[in-house]
Chains A and B, each alone.
Chain A
Amino acid sequence: QKEVEQDPGPLSVPEGAIVSLNCTYSNSAFQYFMWYRQYSRKGPELLMYTYSSGNKEDGRFTAQVDKSSKYISLFIRDSQPSDSATYLCAMSGLPGANSKLTFGKGITLSVRP
C-alpha cells in the first residue's frame, strides 16, 4: 500500500460545478496536509495548507482533513475553466523520520466552459 493514495482521474466537469478531490493515507504520523495545483509545464504551487484535523476555507476552495479516517479532501465551488490543472495532495509529519513531504499521484481536472 502506498503512503498516499489519490483518486484516479482524469476528471471533467462543466463550469460552475462543485468538484471534490480526495486522498487517503496510511501514515498516522502525518500532521501537515497540503494541496498543490500544477498547471501544464509549470511547477506545483501551494493552494491550501492545513495543520492537523479540521476544515479550512479560502474563497471557492475548502480543504478538509479527517485524521481518524486518514482522509483529506479538497472542494472547489463554482468551478471555472481557469481551475483546469492537476491537483496534488501532499503531507508530512513533524521533524524526524516522517518529515519528508510525500505527494499523491495527482488528478487532472478539466472544467468545460
Chain B
Amino acid sequence: EAGVAQSPRYKIIEKRQSVAFWCNPISGHATLYWYQQILGQGPKLLIQFQNNGVVDDSQLPKDRFSAERLKGVDSTLKIQPAKLEDSAVYLCASSLRPVGGELFFGEGSRLTVL
C-alpha cells in the first residue's frame, strides 16, 4: 500500500515570496491533516480536512496560509507571503477516521525562508 506522498521535499525561498506544498493521502483515507514542525518541537496542527470540508483550522495563520482539498483527495498548502518564522517541516498526514485513529505521515516538506 502506498504511503502519504508529499512534494517538494525541500524548498528554499526568500521572505515575502510564495510557496506551495502538495500532498496525496493514502487511498481511502477521508481525513487529511497539515502539521507544522519547527526544529526541536512537536508537530502543530494547521488544518484538518474531512473529505473536502474543513474540520479545524483554528491554528492556521489565515492572513498568509491557505489550504484546499479539492475533490476530497489530494491537498495543497500555500504560504504567501512567507516570513522567516515559517521555516519548518510541513507534514501531511491522513487517517481513516477523524478522531482517535492512527495518523499516517508523509516524509514532510522542509521549508527554509531566507
Contacts and interface: CB of A to CB of B under 8 A. Distances in A.
Nearest to A98: B99
B100 A31 contact: yes
Taking residues whose C-beta sits less than 8 angstroms from the other chain, chain B's interface range is 20 to 34
A31 B110 CA distance: 32
Contacts of B41: 105-106
A94 B42 contact: no
B107 A94 contact: no
Given A49-B102, A92-B99, A43 B40 contact: no
A105 B38 CA distance: 10
A29 to B, nearest CB: 12
Closest 6 CB pairs of A and B: A43-B105, A103-B42, A99-B99, A32-B100, A95-B99, A46-B102
A44 B99 contact: no
A46 B103 contact: yes
Interface string B83-114: 00000000101000011101111111010000
17 contacts: A6-B42, A32-B99, A42-B107, A43-B91, A43-B105, A43-B106, A43-B107, A46-B102, A46-B103, A51-B100, A88-B42, A88-B43, A90-B42, A100-B56, A103-B43, A103-B44, A105-B41
Contacts of B110: 41
Interface string B47-76: 010000000100000000000000000000
Contact of B108 (A43, A45, A49): A43
B108 A94 contact: no
A44 B102 CA distance: 11
A4 B98 CA distance: 20
Contacts of A41: 107-108, 110
